[in-house]
A and B are shown apart, each in its own frame.
Chain A
Amino acid sequence: MKLLVLIPAFNEENTISDVIEETKKNLPEADILVVNDGSTDRTKQILSNHKNIKALHLPFNMGIGGAIWTGFNFFCKKDYELLVRIDGDGQHPPAQARSLIEPLLKKEADLVIGSRFIKREGYLSSLHRRGGIKLLNILTAFLLKKEITDNTSGFRAYSRRAANLLRKDYPFDYPEPIEVYLLSQKGLKIKEIPTEMKEREGGVSSISLMHSYYYLIKVLLTILVNFLYGGKK
Chain B
Amino acid sequence: MNPYPISPIQIVSITFSIFLLVLIAILIRKKKIREEYAILWILIFLIFLLLSIFRGAIDTISSLLGIQYQPASLFLILIASLFLLTFHFSLVISDMKKKINHLAMTLSILEESLSEEEKNSS
Chain A residues proximal to chain B, CB less than 8 Å:
35, 54-60, 62, 66, 69-70, 73-74, 77, 172
Contact = CB atoms under 8 A, between A and B. Distances in A.
A62 B109 contact: no
Given A55-B112, A59-B107, A70-B104, 17 more contacts: A54-B116, A56-B111, A56-B112, A57-B108, A57-B111, A58-B105, A62-B101, A62-B104, A66-B104, A69-B101, A69-B105, A70-B105, A70-B108, A70-B109, A74-B109, A74-B112, A77-B109
A59 to B, nearest CB: 5
29 contacts: A35-B108, A54-B112, A55-B112, A56-B108, A56-B109, A56-B112, A57-B108, A57-B111, A58-B105, A58-B108, A59-B104, A59-B107, A59-B108, A60-B104, A62-B104, A66-B101, A66-B104, A66-B105, A69-B101, A69-B105, A70-B105, A70-B108, A70-B109, A73-B105, A73-B109, A74-B109, A74-B112, A77-B109, A172-B101
Interface of B: 101, 104-105, 107-109, 111-112, 116
Nearest to B112: A56
Q: Which among B101, B105, B111 has the greatest number of chain A C-beta atoms within 10 A?
A: B105
Contacts of A59: 104, 107-108
Contacts of B111: 56-57
Contacts of A57: 108, 111
B35 to A, nearest CB: 29
A94 B81 CA distance: 55
Shortest beta-carbon contacts, A-B, top 9: A56-B108, A70-B105, A59-B104, A58-B108, A58-B104, A56-B112, A74-B109, A73-B105, A57-B108
